[in-house]
Amino acid sequence: MFADRARIIVKSGAGGNGRVSFRREKFVPDGGPDGGDGGNGGSVIFCVDEGLNTLTDFRHVRKYVAESGAEGDKKNRTGKSGEDLYIKVPPGTVIKEASTGKVVVDMSGDTKEAVLLKGGRGGRGNARYATPTMQAPKYAQPGQPAQELELILELKVIADVGLVGFPNVGKSTLLSRVSNVKPKIANYHFTTLQPNLGVVDLDEGKGFVMADIPGLIEGASEGVGLGHEFLRHVERTKVLIHIVDAAGSEGRDPVEDIYAINRELAYYNPQLPTRPQVIAANKLDLLEEAAAAKAVEKLKAEFEPQGYQVIPISAATGQGVRELLYKVLDMLSKLDDKPVVFAQEYFPEQERNVSDEPFTVSYDSKEEAYVVEGPSIERMLGYTNLDSEKGFQFFQNFLKEKGILAKLEEMGIQDGDTVKVVDLSFDYYKN
């Protein structure tokens, strides 16, 4: 069964606890501390699998947990780190935080792999705390706890062009005529129960990917019928071909049909009706020539003043289809060729408001770097994609709001100095 939505829980591995241990050897009666560090917990990593096209597997397994790190051992041995957990998803999967619906990461475009939850750091063993004045520390650092998130996975098809319109207006017929896709076609509503993707090849190696979005009905944006299941697939397309039964073969008014579908698109996402759209007046082969011309003229009079070009076609016979495809190709050539990718919206540390949690800023003369540490900072880095502009901006704002930048300046940091945050290093430059 095709599935394009799933709800799961993911949990990273906890860091192993540091060990409290002392050397106990025959000829070393007062051995010093030798407790090792705990191992790091495994991270939860999502990766794109080009061979997948559905989220069906997530219907059977709901919780995904990475391995925790082992406790440190005596003789300064570090505990075994937990294995990272790799979760494979189809290209185009948008991962959202379940309670807010905000985007955590979009697995499309250049994003082929994303660390969603970073494993907890292992705690330091008591050997780390030995000093000239404290030669036998009897304490060790506990490992960082695991992080957990409930997620919604949504598969939004990656296509340049989306076919929209009421059920049984000829979307599947058109797709089967212009590509190598052969969807099931019959004369009843909701024939297509999943989006079909087809590659449209035109002359000189030009072409585009077209998606047959299952038929919509009024109320789809409110979940009537299978509305939400289908509307999400329109969001990534750049151009819409709005197919209408211009012959009115089912007794509906073609003009009202177009307005009804655009209302549903607007209710679901106000940006959708603003996408470039061309109207394909279909099923004209069912009318006499004069009646067909009259039907097309009525659509043109209503919609061309609004900026929508109306192209008469017959998906069944192929009439007008070539003109339609080249019109769409021309529209695409005027748009940005980058794929539609949804930016990160959910930053857990911002949502949880942990600004009162402690942090430390120190200078490591050995590494010649300022070192910033703290539990909330480490958690923030475990959630945030620093490769994205928005993610890195959030990281900078986080450091400013917690007072870390002010503390660094108070300590005399200069432009070009190195700042080490957990296991990442940055060059400091004042804005």
Q: For 263-285, how does the pLDDT look when each residue is reduced to its tens digit (9 = 90+)?
A: 888 888 888 888 899 999 999 99
**Range scoring the smallest mean pLDDT among 132-141, 270-279, 387-396:** 387-396
Mean pLDDT for the chain overall: 83
> What percent of the chain stands above pLDDT 70?
87
Residue 104 burial (10 A CB sphere; 0-12, 13-18, 19+):
buried
More confident residue, 232 or 28: 232
Residue 56: predicted pLDDT: 84
Contact assessment for residue 248 and residue 257, using Cβ atoms and an 8 Å cutoff: no
CA separation for the pair 182, 252 (Å, rounded): 27
**Range scoring the smallest mean pLDDT among 54-58, 98-102, 283-287, 350-354:** 350-354
Residue 372: predicted pLDDT: 87
Res. 421: pLDDT tops 90 = no
Contact assessment for residue 131 and residue 33, using Cβ atoms and an 8 Å cutoff: no
Residues 6+ apart with CB under 8 A from 136: 22, 32, 33, 130
Res. 77: pLDDT tops 60 = yes
* Per-residue confidence band for 57, with pLDDT thresholds at 50, 70 and 90: confident
Residue 189: predicted pLDDT: 39
Res. 192: pLDDT tops 50 = no
Region 30-53: mean pLDDT is: 90
CA distances from 27 to 30, 31, 255 (A): 9, 9, 96
Residue 307 burial (10 A CB sphere; 0-12, 13-18, 19+):
exposed
CA separation for the pair 107, 95 (Å, rounded): 8
Res. 354: pLDDT tops 60 = no
Which helix (H) or strand (E) segment holds residue 173: the answer is helix 171-178
Residue 392: predicted pLDDT: 78
More confident residue, 9 or 391: 9
Res. 19: pLDDT tops 90 = yes
Farthest-apart Cα atoms in the chain, separation = 109
Residue 224: predicted pLDDT: 43
CA separation for the pair 346, 102 (Å, rounded): 5
Res. 183: pLDDT tops 60 = no
pLDDT in tens, 283-332: 999 999 999 999 999 999 999 999 999 999 999 999 999 999 999 999 99
Residue 47: predicted pLDDT: 96
**Range scoring the smallest mean pLDDT among 1-5, 301-305, 380-384:** 1-5
> What percent of the chain stands above pLDDT 90?
36
Taking alpha carbons only, the member of 309, 307, 420 closest to residue 373 is 420
Res. 198: pLDDT tops 90 = no
Residue 352: predicted pLDDT: 57
Residue 72: predicted pLDDT: 95
Contact assessment for residue 52 and residue 138, using Cβ atoms and an 8 Å cutoff: no
